[in-house]
Structure 1
Amino acid sequence: MTMNQKVKNLLDDWQIGNPSLYEIANSVRTRILQLAGTVDEEVKYGGILFAAPEPFCGIFVYKQHVSVEFSHGAEIVDPHGLLEGKGKGRRHLKLHTLEDVENKHLTDYLRLAQKAAE
């Protein structure tokens, strides 16, 4: 899959603006793209949203952390008790370090988010 130009531009901006958070965001993105045969990505709301084929998550880079937002997060049974947020639909994980990608069981949550969206 070739990366769309808007996604590439946003990744470049993140890399220039905060290299350590870019590393986290790029690691998350790589895992998301490995999840399913076809994952579509688009730039929206200042982040990258992913769909396979239904929208299931997004990555957003803030000043101090990377947030992985789950579209149907409220429907996920949280196996590790790490999801944050109290809204009707969404939940998120805040990642502060590259180690958080492993420590916060990101791959588990991505699979659950994808199932919840189907």
Structure 2
Amino acid sequence: MMAIQGTWDDVFGKSPPKVVALASALAALLRALNPACVEVARPGDKAVSFGWGAAKMSQAYAYLMPQKDRVNLGFYQGANLPDPAGLLEGTGKSMRHVKVHDEALAQSAPLRALVLAAMEKSRANGGLE
């Protein structure tokens, strides 16, 4: 096991209950959309990644990162995702995130569509068709 890998509690253990509940709802969505996903807690990044394998940038498509009053649902290739609802934020070369403040957004169709698009882009880029 790599040193950057840890447990869910290493990442979310000190977060407020609201943040933990949001993270749990988002993780449930990610797991439901890909029951075979590989989930890696990365305490050094203060995030939990979800993907086709343990490699962060090449195999993961999404991550959850706790914030003071929300959870950032991030996408490693988010700059290349369709986002008709305008949920994505960020200015990096490839990464984007959605600031999730409530469960309504966590369960919304536009957010679900982003996750599915991220999964498909990652699958195609990784040759996992």
CA contact (8 A) 1:11 1:22 kept: no
Cα distance in 2 for residues equivalent to 1:21 and 1:115: 27
Compare the two structures and name the one with the higher helix fraction. 1
Change (3 A) 1:55 1:65: same
CA contact (8 A) 2:75 2:118 kept: yes
Give a deviation string over 1:20-64, Cα, whole Å, max 9, x none.
111110000011011124100111111101112421000001112
CA positional deviation for 1:103: 4.3
CA contact (8 A) 2:90 2:96 kept: yes
Match of 1:74 in 2: 79
Give a deviation string over 1:58-114, Cα, whole Å, max 9, x none.
000111211001011011021211111111101110011122213473211110111
> Which amino acid in the other structure matches residue 32 of structure 1?
L
TM-score normalised by structure 1 residue count: 0.84
> Which amino acid in the other structure matches residue 30 of structure 1?
A
Match of 1:32 in 2: 30
CA positional deviation for 1:11: 6.4
CA positional deviation for 1:13: 0.7
Q: Identity of counterpart residues, as a percentage?
A: 23
User: How is 1:1-118 mapped onto 2 (pairs within 5 angstroms)?
Assistant: 6-10=6-10, 13-14=13-14, 17-44=15-42, 45-53=45-53, 54-103=59-108, 105-118=110-123
Cα distance in 2 for residues equivalent to 1:57 and 1:107: 12
Residues matched between the structures, number: 112
Q: Give me the CA root mean square deviation.
A: 2.0
TM-score normalised by structure 2 residue count: 0.77
Show structure 1 runs of 5+ residues with no match.
none
Change (3 A) 1:88 1:33: same
CA positional deviation for 1:6: 3.4
